[in-house]
Every structure is written in structure tokens, then in C-alpha cells.
């Protein structure tokens, strides 16, 4: 059934948590450059991908559903360091200065608001540009005021909030996260052990009617309290953890093994990374959050309970090593031990020399534009159709996440077709 989708009229404010980080400054510089015709938004599904409609014509996705235009986006956000987006982009050293300077004026105009930060949740970071809040509830109130002020000062019709900041320490889900009421009580009691800064951002965004996207593996928006609150406020939420490099490869290779009924006995993954994210993940408590996200992928794809002869005893190990000289240019190695006919062993080795923020930037943009679309289409709560972009796709307790990249792509297109009142084709496209 066709959805009534409000037009993408007016400015779309995009508030990024970690607006001075490598991912955010890379995304913003790319969007500003695309506006001027200086670069193509390569890697962006919303800007580059095409799909067939019922009239059997292939059209760009952005011409099929009413996405906000790049010219209508206004960027802002929070950061624990005070440098503007131009200074931060130079510091990140992802993009060359020759690619940053043509949009220097626009980047210099983006100065971060003081961040809601707690050193205990990211011990390797020492922020200087931070809010002073007596309680977590006070932290939320300050963030809500930031959102309202930015929206008014920039004449924005709508806001989307995106987490592109560092990974927080691992915390298991607890009773404080079980309902909106229990989470609010924990915030007001200043329960800093169970309420993270990222939860404050998510709550503040939802309270202000803004979609919230979790781009890291933190326990945050993927708790019953947030699901309940997002439904109550009619706000979409999405996440979690941008699927950019090594895990992207896993969601392609693992379905191939399963489709061919080839067995897997072991999968060893290791990375070296030198940017701020690598430094944060050098702390074991923060790495555990990322490890849980990365480890869940192949188990869900392989379904060992269904195929015990092939996948019941897969030894899966993930490592991330902080290596400052590599900066944002992450290198990932995968050694995969597989077996085939009559149990004979084989090996596959993958060496991916990727650029972390170059891969993550278009994902961040797509999640922003599709979340804004979902809001205007009256869709709220967990946006499972955006799993395509996430390492650890959000789902409620009654369902299993879909990790197969090609199934995720099918679901995404199916959802877009449903928005315009079309049925999915009876062939795989």
C-alpha cells in the first residue's frame, strides 16, 4: 500500500555527534564538494544506485522516492574538541588539503557545540570542549536545548541526529534499559554506570522528534526503553555500527559459502588502525563492544543449528590493533579455513587495504537521508530495512537480524517500492 510521504520541503539539519571526527568531516566535505560539482558521491546508495520500477524502467533511487536534496542539508553537531570542521578535517588526514580547501569557508562555519561526555566511557579520550551537567537528565535537557536552538537559528524544517563518535565501553542490557520510565528514572538519579552519554543523545533526539542513528556498536538505541520511546514519539531509529570494511566482506563471503554448502572450520580476522577510533579501541573495555558487534555476523548467516555438519564448530576470532602510523588507512586480514567435498580442507585469505572514513562517509549520508524519508513517511521505531548499512542490525527481542548483504539489499528495495505503492518483482534484481 502506497504511503503518504510528506515532501522534503525546507532545510534538513544534520547534527553529528563527533562532528570533528574523521567520518563526519569526510562526509561533510564530500557533500559540500558534490554540491559544487567538484566530486561525485561515490559509495552512496541514495545518490548513485538505481532500481527498476513496475514500468520496467531503471531509475535512480533519489528519483523514485522523495529524498532531501544535498543542497538542503545544514550540518552541525557536537564534539569534545573545539576545532571547526575545516581544522578537524586537516587534522584527520583522510582527505588531501587540495580536496578540502575548495569548501574551506563552509567547513570553517561549522563549529561544534560542547559535547555531552563522560571520560569513564572512553578513557583514551581527554575532551576539553564538554558540557557540565549535574545529572544525566540535565545532560539530556542541555542537548534538547541545543537541538531546538540549532533548528531555529538555521531555519531547519527537520533534524536528524547521527552518532559518528567513538565506541563507548561495553555494558550489558539491564533493568534500567527495560522501559522508558526506568531509563528516565536512572537518568534523573544520575546512574552513570548504566546510562551512557550516547543514550542521552538518543533520548534527546527522539524527544525533539528527530530520527537518531547509531553509527557505533554502543548499547544505546537498541534497548526496549528507546524502542518504546521512539514508538511513542513517532520517530524512526536506526543502527548500529557502520558496516564499512572487514565486516562488509564477511556479509558477502559468508552467504557464498552457505549458498554453495561449503563448510567453515575457522575464521580469523585482524586489523591495524591508527586514527582516533583505533586509539579508543585500544582499551579492552571499548574493544569488547566492537568485538561483540563483529562476532555476531557470521553466526547469524551460517545458522549452525540448521547446518551442524558445516558450521557447528566455527572458530571465529577478531582482533583490532592500534597502529598510529597507519592513521585512517586501515588494513584488514582474514584467514578463512573452509572444507568441501569429502571434508577436504581449503583456505581463503583476504587482505583489504581500506580507508575507513572513505567507506563510512557515504553510509552515514545514506542513513541520514533514508531516516528522514522514513520520518516523512510516518514510519517509527526500529528501521530494520536499513540493516544494509549496519554491522549489528538492530532488531527487537522477538526477531533475528538479517546479515546477508544481498538479502538486506532486497529488503531495502522492497521497502522503497512499498513506499510508492509497488510490489517487489518476482525475480531477483
DSSP 173: -
pLDDT at 1 over 70: no
pTM score of the predicted model? 0.94
Q: What band does 305 get if pLDDT is binned at 50, 70 and 90?
A: very high
Please tell me the distance from the alpha carbon of residue 256 to that of residue 93, in angstroms, as a whole number.
36
Q: Which residue has the higher pLDDT, 112 or 277?
A: 112
Q: Considering Cα of 226, then 410, then 158, then 20, what sign does the dihedral take?
A: positive
Domain ranges of the chain: 11-242+357-419, 246-353
Please tell me the distance from the alpha carbon of residue 140 to that of residue 8, in angstroms, as a whole number.
28
Average pLDDT rounded to a whole number, residues 180-202 = 98
pLDDT at 85 over 70: yes
**pLDDT at residue 307 in the model:** 98
C-alpha distance from residue 404 to each of 277, 351, 382 (Å):
26, 21, 18
Least confident of 40-44, 123-127, 215-219, 411-415: 123-127
Give the cell for residue 340: 568441501
**pLDDT at residue 384 in the model:** 95
Please tell me the distance from the alpha carbon of residue 405 to that of residue 410, in angstroms, as a whole number.
9
* Pick from 160, 164, 136: nearest CA to 225: 136
Q: What band does 428 get if pLDDT is binned at 50, 70 and 90?
A: low
pLDDT at 385 over 90: yes
Overall CATH class of domain 11-242+357-419: alpha beta
Provide the Cα torsion 400, 404, 406, 409; round to 10°. 40
**pLDDT at residue 426 in the model:** 64
Is residue 256 within 8 Å of 264, Cβ to Cβ? Answer: no
**pLDDT at residue 57 in the model:** 86
pLDDT at 197 over 70: yes
**pLDDT at residue 184 in the model:** 98
For 387-402, the DSSP string reads GGGBSS----TTSPPP
**292-306, 317-331, 365-379: which is most confident:** 365-379
Least confident of 43-47, 85-89, 288-292: 288-292
Average pLDDT rounded to a whole number, residues 23-28 = 98
**pLDDT at residue 93 in the model:** 93
**pLDDT at residue 282 in the model:** 78
Please tell me the distance from the alpha carbon of residue 31 to that of residue 24, in angstroms, as a whole number.
11
- What's the CATH fold of domain 246-353? Dihydrodipicolinate Reductase; domain 2 (3.30.360)
Through-space distance between the first and last CA atoms of the chain, rounded to whole angstroms: 21
DSSP 115: B
Residues forming beta bridges with residue 51, ordered by sequence position: 59
Average pLDDT rounded to a whole number, residues 326-338 = 92
**pLDDT at residue 233 in the model:** 98
As a whole number, the mean pLDDT across the chain is 94
Burial class (CB in 10 A: 0-12, 13-18, 19+), 125: middle
Q: What are phi and psi of 124, to 5 degrees?
A: -85, -5
Amino acid at each position: 500500500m502506497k504511503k503518504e510521504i510528506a515532501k522534503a520541503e525546507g532545510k534538513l539539519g544534520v547534527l553529528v555527534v563527533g562532528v570533528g571526527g574523521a567520518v563526519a568531516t569526510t562526509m561533510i566535505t564530500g557533500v559540500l564538494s558534490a554540491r559544487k560539482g567538484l566530486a561525485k558521491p561515490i559509495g552512496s546508495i541514495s545518490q548513485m544506485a538505481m532500481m527498476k520500477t513496475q514500468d520496467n524502467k531503471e531509475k535512480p533511487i533519489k528519483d523514485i522516492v522523495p529524498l532531501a536534496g544535498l543542497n538542503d542539508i545544514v550540518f552541525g553537531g557536537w564534539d569534545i574538541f573545539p576545532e571547526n570542521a575545516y581544522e578537524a578535517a586537516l587534522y584527520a588526514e583522510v582527505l588531501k588539503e587540495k580536496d578540502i580547501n575548495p569548501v574551506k569557508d563552509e567547513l570553517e562555519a561549522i563549529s561544534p557545540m560542547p559535547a555531552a561526555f563522560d571520560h569513564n566511557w572512553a578513557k583514551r579520550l581527554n575532551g576539553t570542549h564538554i558540557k557540565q551537567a549535574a545529572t544525566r537528565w540535565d545532560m539530556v535537557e542541555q542537548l534538547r536545548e541545543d537541538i531546538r536552538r540549532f533548528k531555529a537559528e538555521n531555519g531547519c524544517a527537520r533534524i536528524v541526529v547521527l552518532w559518528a563518535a567513538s565506541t563507548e565501553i561495553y555494558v550489558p542490557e539491564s533493568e534500567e534499559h527495560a522501559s522508558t520510565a526506568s531509563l528516565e528514572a536512572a537518568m534523573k538519579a544520575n546512574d552513570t554506570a548504566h546510562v551512557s552519554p550516547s543514550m542521552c543523545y538518543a533520548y534527546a533526539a527522539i524527544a525533539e522528534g528527530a530520527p537518531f542513528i547509531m553509527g557505533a556498536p554502543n548499547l544505546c538505541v537498541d534497548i526496549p526503553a528507546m524502542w518504546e520511546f521512539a514508538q511513542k514519539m513517532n520517530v524512526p531509529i536506526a543502527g548500529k555500527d557502520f558496516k564499512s570494511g572487514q565486516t562488509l566482506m564477511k556479509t558477502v563471503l559468508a552467504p557464498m559459502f552457505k549458498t554453495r554448502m561449503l563448510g567453515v572450520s575457522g575464521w580469523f580476522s585482524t586489523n591495524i588502525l591508527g586514527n582516533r577510533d583505533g586509539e579508543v579501541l585500544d582499551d579492552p573495555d571499548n574493544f569488547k563492544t566492537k568485538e561483540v558487534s563483529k562476532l555476531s555476523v557470521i553466526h547469524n548467516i551460517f545458522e549452525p543449528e540448521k547446518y551442524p555438519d558445516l558450521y557447528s564448530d566455527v572458530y571465529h576470532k577478531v582482533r583490532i590493533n592500534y597502529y598510529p602510523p597507519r592513521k585512517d588507512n586501515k588494513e584488514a586480514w582474514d584467514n578463512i579455513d573452509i572444507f568441501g567435498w569429502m571434508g577436504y580442507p581449503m583456505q581463503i585469505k583476504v587482505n583489504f587495504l581500506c580507508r575507513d572514513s572513505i567507506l563510512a562517509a557515504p553510509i552515514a549520508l545514506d542513513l541520514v537521508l533514508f531516516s528522514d524519508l522514513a520520518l516523512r513517511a510516518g514510519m517509527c521505531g526500529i528501521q530494520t530495512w536499513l540493516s544494509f548499512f549496519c554491522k549489528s542490525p538492530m532488531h527487537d527481542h522477538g526477531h533475528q537480524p538479517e546479515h546477508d548483504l544481498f538479502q538486506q539489499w532486497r529488503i531495502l528495495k522492497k521497502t522503497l517500492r512499498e513506499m510508492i505503492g509497488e510490489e517487489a518483482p518476482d525475480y531477483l534484481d
